[in-house]
Amino acid sequence: MQYTISKSNLHINGTITLNGSKSIANRALIIQALCKAPFTIHQLSNSKDTVTLKSLLEQAKQGDNVVFDAGAAGTTYRFMTAFLAMQEGTQILTGTARMKQRPIGVLVKALRQLGANIEYMEQEGYPPLKIHSPNELGKENQLIISAETSSQYISALLMIAPTLPNGLELTLEGKIVSRSYIEMTLGQMAYFGVQHVWEGNTIKVAAQDYQAQDFVVEADWSAASYFYTMAVLADDLDLQLNGLYANSFQGDAVLTTMMTAFGIETTFNPFGIRLQKSGDMPIDHFEYDFLRCPDLAQTIAVMCASMGISAKFTGLETLRIKETDRIAALQQELDKVNVIVQPFGHKGMTLEGKVNIMNQPIFDTYEDHRMAMAFAPLAMLDTIQINEPMVVVKSYPDFYSDLKLLGFEVTE
């Protein structure tokens, strides 16, 4: 499937109610499954990742010898690995071909130390997994884990920590990647009554019960980022994005300050945020460390390229092990519009050039929802095409419908 996207003007005016954050929703679902009493989750994300996790947790109630398919959902796979490792019975946890290329060894090793009985069914260190009843749950309650890999491993361990007989003392070794996502996890755990102590690089969670109380899922700041690109490109801007909070669990909320450099003013109101032009001219060079907000990197890269703003990005340690190698994907797709992306090491990249759209370029998505949504705003410059556009269902199923509300034309 291929979508053609265009826009007849540079006006971005209207109101969009954003989808709930799948990161927040997925954590709430795991906590709900671990809680001894029921509670309700309001405004649950309709993203495919969240729908998949909800379905798998329902499936987990069926008992022994169940095959769980997490599809392409990385967060779902990591969280379910930890959840199932603490359950009785034997289960199989699998996913897509790409999922089988995404490492899980760091988490499996940690869970085994806690007493989990997990075996690899194919390649050592990678899905699929066969997960048996734990051997001696909580026999060890002190773990050291590399902080330079996915924060999803750490979050998965933290959420099961209060259910372990002796809790968990988790020491993060090395530079902490995506710290904001760890803080999000601990913040949600605290909402449900679970206390922790974080001293230096060690997080201590004592054995305790989650306390049931209803929960409202905040809208997704990552989704908001695509509308910020549209705001930058607009010559007439007045956009309301509903569902976002000033006191957010999400690291991507840094957009409110980051985007001042691009001439965008963000104002909070009772419904969410309002975007308007500040009157300041955008900068001509941008440097940023994305360690705390790696999911913004693709969006900001395309934003800079669209304005001809040279850039240097660091803190990209996790981008090569996401749904695709996101640095390589950006390099390939921006090259189609005469923008040069140059990686350095495995943690950074530079950008030079300004987007030059000719002959309706076709952008590939690499089974990565963020590639489709990061490139879609370029339709404000000229007509573009996107291959496999519905990959957006992973996090934002209504993305193209919302584009149409703002005057974009989207045709198959």
Please, what are the domains in the chain? 2-20+219-411 (3.65.10.10), 22-212 (3.65.10.10)
Q: Which residues of the chain have a pLDDT value below 50?
A: none
Question: Is 209 among the residues known to form the active site?
Answer: no
Question: Rounded to whole angstroms, how far apart are CA atoms 56 and 50?
Answer: 10
What is the pLDDT, as a whole number, of residue 322? Answer: 66
Give the tens place of pLDDT for each residue, 367-402: 999 999 999 999 999 999 999 999 999 899 999 999
Give the tens place of pLDDT for each residue, 180-239: 899 999 999 999 999 999 999 999 999 999 999 999 999 999 999 999 999 999 999 999
Q: Which amino acid is at 244?
A: L
Beta bridge partners of 242: 17, 272
User: Assign residue 360 a region: left if phi > 0, alpha if psi is -120 to 50, beta otherwise?
Assistant: left
Task: Identify the helix (H) or strand (E) that includes residue 79.
Answer: helix 74-85
390, exposed or middle or buried, with CB in 10 Å at 0-12, 13-18, 19+?
middle
Residues 6+ apart with CB under 8 A from 85: 111, 114, 116, 117, 118, 131, 134, 160
Helices (H), 97-203: 105-113, 151-160, 179-191
The three-state DSSP-derived secondary structure of 174-205 is CCCCCHHHHHHHHHHHHHCCCCCEEECCEEEE
Question: Rounded to whole angstroms, how far apart are CA atoms 354 and 48?
Answer: 34
DSSP 255: H
Instruction: Give backbone dihedrals phi and psi of 402, rounded to 5 degrees, phi first.
Output: -70, -35
For the entire predicted model, the pTM comes to 0.86
What is the pLDDT, as a whole number, of residue 138? Answer: 73
CB 101 within 8 A of CB 110: no
Catalytic residue among 69, 252, 295, 402: 295
Give the tens place of pLDDT for each residue, 52-68: 999 999 999 887 788 99
SS3 content of the chain, % helix, strand, coil (to 5): 40, 25, 40
Q: Which amino acid is at 206?
A: A
What is the pLDDT, as a whole number, of residue 321? Answer: 65
What is the pLDDT, as a whole number, of residue 23? Answer: 93
Beta bridge partners of 288: 313
What is the pLDDT, as a whole number, of residue 374? Answer: 97
What is the pLDDT, as a whole number, of residue 64? Answer: 75
